[in-house]
């Protein structure tokens, strides 16, 4: 399933170039075009899902898969020991700007809390 106007679906299909660093049967990961930390990677499902709001019990394996991929990428990127943050922005107040579910993986510096 893909959505024709979705930029992340177009990255999955190869129509738009991205710096892809991880791929498997369910997910891909690529470097954020506007990084907010030395390491800023987006992990997304290959299939289009608008947001966390569209998740149902059927997606529980997918959500787990995305987080396990994030953990493995953190190791690959050398930030597992120093630490990192995983974030899913949802909706307007959550700061979501791309309507294709994605996990942000941020690391490589000390991250402030609470987020802005």
Which stretches of the chain bind ligand AMP, using CB under 6 A?
Answer: 7, 16, 18, 30, 32-34, 42, 89, 95-98
Q: Which is nearer to ligand AMP, 74 or 104 (CB)?
A: 104
- Pick from 45, 55, 42, 48: nearest CA to 4: 48
DSSP assignments along 42-70, one per residue: EEEESS----GGG--GGGHHHHHHHHHHH
Calpha distance 71→80 (Å, rounded): 7
Q: How far is the CB of 37 from ligand AMP (least distance, A)?
A: 11
In angstroms, the Cα distances linking 51 to 17, 54, 75 are: 22, 6, 26
Find the catalytic residue in 48, 100, 102, 104.
102
- Comparing CB distances to ligand AMP, the nearer of 97 and 110 is 97
Q: How far is the CB of 75 from ligand AMP (least distance, A)?
A: 22
Give the Cα separation of 23 and 99 in Å (integer).
20
**Any catalytic annotation for residue 104?**
no
User: Of 79 and 101, which CB lies nearer to ligand AMP in the complex structure?
Assistant: 101
Minimum Å gap between C-beta 45 and ligand AMP is 14
Catalytic residues: 102
């Amino acid at each position: 399933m893909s959505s024709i106007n979705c930029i992340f679906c177009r990255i999955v299909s190869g129509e738009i170039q991205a710096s892809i660093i991880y791929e498997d049967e369910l997910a891909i990961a690529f470097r954020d075009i506007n990084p907010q930390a030395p390491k800023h990677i987006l992990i997304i499902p290959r299939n289009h899902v608008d947001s966390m709001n569209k998740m149902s019990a059927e997606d529980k394996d997918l959500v787990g898969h995305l987080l396990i991929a994030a953990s493995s990428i953190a190791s690959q990127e050398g930030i597992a020991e120093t630490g990192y943050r995983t974030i899913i922005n949802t909706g307007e107040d959550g700061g979501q700007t791309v309507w294709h579910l994605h996990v942000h993986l941020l690391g490589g510096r000390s991250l402030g809390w609470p987020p802005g």
